[in-house]
Structure 1
């Protein structure tokens, strides 16, 4: 069974890739369907265009929230880094290793 979805989405490489891929595709698809709806005067293309625009907005908001999470985590790491004695600053200290990727779920 899949876990319940969370919002904002967790800032993982897979989510970043999917959201960065989905956003421009959604923009292009929304523009195409909206153009078709305006030229055809049918009600179904308008409904599809509105759904596509809503999905694209959701992807854009998710991207912004993931970026905010990443920046907040970076700011928290900078605040936790103590200044080392001897006149060196936090910038002179070796950077920490990146976190390991989480293990896949065993089923």
Structure 2
């Protein structure tokens, strides 16, 4: 299990009405533009809101609008490098399993 995301028990928080309202406010404040891409003179649609100070480090800042930044998915994955690497590992395992199953199911040898 990924200790950075899955052991935080923040699922209820991210489903709460307070978070949804604050998320919408952050996206509207930033005009739905990725603030990281904007620093590089690129206009990219932001669909994710990122906590600048992670919740696990500062619980009191989780509902502070000044602690939020609107980002695109690519930039959010860069900010959370542990997530995409874990996803790559899962895909690699799934591909290995799929290839193994194909090898045995395509075997036409009969006994």
TM-score surpassing 0.5? Answer: no
Higher RCO, 1 vs 2 (CA within 8 Å, ≥6 residues apart): 1
Question: For the superposition of Structure 1 and Structure 2, which TM-score range results when normalised by the shorter chain?
Answer: 0.3 to 0.5
| Structure with the larger strand share | 2
**TM-score normalised according to structure 1 size:** 0.34
Bigger radius of gyration, 1 or 2? Answer: 1
Higher helix share: 1
